Structure 1
Amino acid sequence: MLMTRGALTDLIPHAGTMCLLDGVLSWDRNRIRCIARSHRDPDNPLRHAGRLAALCGVEYASQAMAVHGGLTGGGTRPAAGYLASLRDLACRVERLDDLVDDLIIEAENLTGEGSRVIYAFSVTAAGRELLNGRAAVVIDAGIADLGAA
Structure 2
Amino acid sequence: MLDRAWIAAHIPHQGDMCLLDAVHDWSAEAITCAATSHTDPANPLRTGGRLGAANGIEYAAQAMAIHGALLAGSEGQPRQGYLTSVRGVTLHAARLDNLPGPLTVRAERLSGDANNILYQFAVSHADRCLLEGRAAVVIDASVLSKEQP
Q: TM-score, normalised by structure 2?
A: 0.91
Q: Tell me if the contact between 2:82 and 2:141 (Cα under 8 Å) persists in the aligned partners.
A: no
**1:35-64 CA distance string (max 9 Å, x none):** 000000000000001100100000000000
Helix, strand or coil at the partner of 2:107: strand
Flag as ranges the 4+ runs of structure 1 deviating above 4 A: none
Q: Corresponding residue for 1:11? A: 10
Task: Quickly say closer, same or farther: Cα 1:26–1:52, change in 2 above 3 A.
Answer: same
Q: Tell me if the contact between 2:50 and 2:97 (Cα under 8 Å) persists in the aligned partners.
A: yes
1:77 Cα deviation from its structure 2 partner:
4.5
Q: Tell me if the contact between 1:110 and 1:119 (Cα under 8 Å) persists in the aligned partners.
A: yes
| Equivalent-residue separation in structure 2 for 1:96 and 1:113 (angstroms) | 33
Q: Corresponding residue for 2:24? A: 25
RMSD after superposition: 1.3
| Equivalent-residue separation in structure 2 for 1:77 and 1:31 (angstroms) | 19
Q: What amino acid is aligned across from residue 122 of structure 1 in structure 2?
A: A
Unaligned runs of 5+ in 2: 144-149
Q: Corresponding residue for 2:46? A: 47
Q: What amino acid is aligned across from residue 3 of structure 1 in structure 2?
A: L
| Equivalent-residue separation in structure 2 for 1:121 and 1:62 (angstroms) | 9
Percent identity of paired positions between Structure 1 and Structure 2:
49
Q: What amino acid is aligned across from residue 72 of structure 2 in structure 1?
A: G
Helix, strand or coil at the partner of 2:9: coil
Q: Corresponding residue for 2:100? A: 100
Q: Corresponding residue for 1:122? A: 122
Q: What amino acid is aligned across from residue 78 of structure 2 in structure 1?
A: P
Unaligned runs of 5+ in 1: 144-149
Q: Tell me if the contact between 1:33 and 1:105 (Cα under 8 Å) persists in the aligned partners.
A: yes
Q: TM-score, normalised by structure 1?
A: 0.91
Task: Quickly say closer, same or farther: Cα 1:10–1:142, change in 2 above 3 A.
Answer: farther
